[in-house]
Amino acid sequence: MLAFIAARVLQAIPVLLIVGLISFALFAYVGDPVLIMLGQDYTAAQRVALEHKLGLDQPFLVQYAQYLWAILHGDFGISYRLARPVGALFVERLPATLELAFTASVFALVVGLPLGVYTGIWRDSWLSRVAMTVSLIGVSLPTFLIGILLILIFAVKLEWLPSFGRGDVVHIGFWTTGFLTLSGLKALVLPAITLGLFQMTLIMRLVRSEMLEVLRTDYIKFARARGISERGIHFGHALKNTLVPVITIVGLQLGAIIAFSLVTETVFQWPGMGLLLVQSINVGDIPVMSAYLMLIAVVFVTINLIVDLLYFAVDPRLRMTRMAAAR
Amino acid sequence: MSDASALEVQAASAATGTLGRLQRAWDSDLAYSFRHSPVAVVSAIIAFVCVASAWGAPWIAPHNPFDLASLDLMAGDQPPAFLSGGTWTYPLGTDNQARDVLSAILYGARISILVGVTAIVFALTVGIVVGLVAGYLGGWVDAALMRLADVQLTFPSILVALLIDGIIKTALPRNLADAVQIYVLIFAIGIARWPQFARTVRGSTLVERGRDYVLAAQVIGLSTPRIMVTHVLPNVLGPVLVLATLNLGLAILDEATLSFLGVGLPSTEPSLGTLIRVGNDYILSGEWWVVIFPGFALVMMVLSVNLLGDWLRDALNPRLR
């Protein structure tokens, strides 16, 4: 087990170094900070002096090492657009994105899993048919269109829910939360559904097809022969064995949730990381872009690692082969 | 691609029995499977209508939305013809600058399809070259290229496309960036999708490399590039072309998403995504038609391409027969 974890962590390091190199190259070669800082009139000597002061006359690898060192200490540079440290901006924006992603994932699981089980067991009931048709629509609609449609219906026509923003938030230390106020919760509904709908339909379809598969196997017949209740068979025996692919997909889809939170946040003007990135890209704010790249690489590498470890926890059959492969 | 085959099949049905070649096409397994799949036929028709009307936009569009002189500002914000206040001059209504929504959709679909198809062709080319080289040469070249593909596959393609698009545009001088915007977009979307193609081609190349005809070609002393291109390539194309069809819909959606986020095409050269972004600013005032119709066109286009891709994959997969 430990050897497996160690091997996986070691595999992640080159990925992070490559992404770090790209994000450093962005910093170093796109735009010229010296020119910006010197203004219009300067002598060659001033330029050389400033370059020396900023460490820009050092060899490439030394600068790269310094950059990584600064990042490890939470120093991501200063945003061109907002003239504030990128690290502080991220800390400020992170709670909004995490709360949105968390709510969307919970929505996807809480709705998708039971629906998948239901449509798997009673595949011909009318509710199953409705669910499958709706899910087909959910898969085909692009995220931003779902958001716009929800705004049109629930914010413009019915006027039940707000169309943008986060509502009132409560500060708890550096964390801001919208979970504790009514307006915050109301503001969360539409973005969370928009972001989670695709995942929800995916989970539902996956659980359904896995259930159909598992319910045909011999050990389910044996369980029936032993007189175990239908309920016990469905949830104790069948559902458990559908969970391995579900965990993989949910884990890998966390990445998609982060990527599409960009789109959702733009539709709903949600003050999170995604909106910050989109705005920064539109004006060419390099420090924010390169820091986001670095951060997102860490997040994705961590997600992949956790998914691999969860496999381990859920399916004992994998333990032996995986451990052998890791060695 | 699928449109071409659909056309062929339609043409074949018109000329049954007259030409041997068309007859053979009509009798082939693929054409049989196509005729007996209502989903495939319907989506082929929808895709054909989308492509034809987008291609013919300059001739069939009732107005030219980019000809500023022809715009009648008094006709701005008109609802679609079937609502009260709408006229048949503007069947799907107008936006606040009196641009005809239907015409804008036709011109927009043209750009969406153009960008989607070129991006996939680009991704396909890169993927085939990398996959062939990696699979045929093997060794450290293979290890390095596939590791690179793995690293990129860790990230969702839309994120890769967004970052590449943003970085290139920041690195270029402002006026140059505006001029080459559409190429940057094609490059970004294409480069975000090459790893899947490369993996598929590499997989098939690994199988083909050990076959007798490749050994024979090596024995008679053909050069490595020649063997790769004229002997291996034709035999690994099938699966990757199906994958390309399946990816075409996604690439069109990528373009729409990027344009919606404001990093894609500008409103002077609007794709469907740009139309939706611009229209989105007006939905709070109740002008839903400016957003819903382009959105509907986009969904129909993507859905029909996806269903055709699904059908093609199933029809060509011998295990499912």
Q: What CATH number does residue A165 fall under?
A: 1.10.3720.10
Are A19 and A137 in the same domain?
no
Are A63 and A104 in the same domain?
no
| A324 compared with B39, residue with greater pLDDT | B39
Residue to test with chain B: of A11, A15, A145, most B Cβ within 10 A:
A145
- Decide if A43 is inside a domain: yes
- Decide if A241 is inside a domain: yes
pLDDT digits (tens, 9 = 90+) for B58-79: 787 777 777 666 666 666 666 7
pLDDT digits (tens, 9 = 90+) for A25-81: 877 776 666 666 666 677 777 778 777 777 777 777 787 788 788 877 777 777 777
Residue A307 contacts B, CB cutoff 8 Å: no
Segment A293-315 shows an average pLDDT of: 77
- Decide if A86 is inside a domain: no
Are A54 and A203 in the same domain?
no
Residue B177 contacts A, CB cutoff 8 Å: no
Q: Positive or negative CA dihedral for B222, B228, B232, B237?
A: negative
**pLDDT at residue A33, as a whole number:** 64
Residue A252 contacts B, CB cutoff 8 Å: no
Number of structural domains found in chain A: 2
Which strand (E) or helix (H) includes residue B273? Answer: helix B272-280
Number of A–B residue contacts, CB under 8 Å: 103
Q: Which of A161-170, A206-215, A276-285, B114-123 has the lowest mean pLDDT?
A: A161-170
Are A67 and A132 in the same domain?
no
Are A43 and A184 in the same domain?
no
- Residues 6 or more apart in contact with residue A232 via CB below 8 angstroms: A223
- Decide if A312 is inside a domain: yes
pLDDT digits (tens, 9 = 90+) for B153-180: 878 888 888 888 888 887 777 777 777 8
Half-sphere exposure of B70 (CA within 13 A, CB side): 9
Average pLDDT, chain B: 80
Instruction: Calculate the dihedral angle through the C-alpha atoms of B261, B267, B273, B279, rounding to the nearest 10 degrees.
Output: 90
Are A309 and A275 in the same domain?
yes
Per the CB < 8 A criterion, the answer to whether A242 and A234 are in contact is no
Segment A180-202 shows an average pLDDT of: 84
Pairwise CA distance, residues B87 & B81, whole Å: 5
Percent over 90 (pLDDT), chain B: 10
Residue A163 contacts B, CB cutoff 8 Å: yes
Are A99 and A58 in the same domain?
no
Which strand (E) or helix (H) includes residue A175? Answer: strand A175-177
Q: How far is A11 from chain B (nearest CA, A)?
A: 11
pTM, 2 dp: 0.80
For residue B1, is pLDDT > 50?
Answer: no
- Decide if A171 is inside a domain: yes
**pLDDT at residue A326, as a whole number:** 45
Question: Domain limits at A42?
Answer: 2-72
For residue A192, is pLDDT > 80?
Answer: yes
For residue A196, is pLDDT > 80?
Answer: yes
Residue B316 contacts A, CB cutoff 8 Å: no
Contacts of A149 in chain B (CB under 8 A): 292, 295
Q: Which of A37, A72, A107 is the last residue of a domain?
A: A72
Per the CB < 8 A criterion, the answer to whether A104 and A196 are in contact is yes
Q: Which of A42, A72, A102 is the last residue of a domain?
A: A72
- Decide if A63 is inside a domain: yes
Residue to test with chain A: of B148, B154, B265, B284, most A Cβ within 10 A:
B154
Give the nearest chain A residue to B156 (CA atoms): A256
Q: What is the DSSP string of B28-58?
A: SHHHHHHHT-HHHHHHHHHHHHHHHHHHTHH
Segment A198-202 shows an average pLDDT of: 85
Are A119 and A60 in the same domain?
no
Are A127 and A162 in the same domain?
yes
- Decide if A320 is inside a domain: yes
- Decide if A82 is inside a domain: no
Are A162 and A204 in the same domain?
yes
| B316 compared with B116, residue with greater pLDDT | B116
Pairwise CA distance, residues B130 & B150, whole Å: 13
Are A178 and A239 in the same domain?
yes
Are A33 and A167 in the same domain?
no
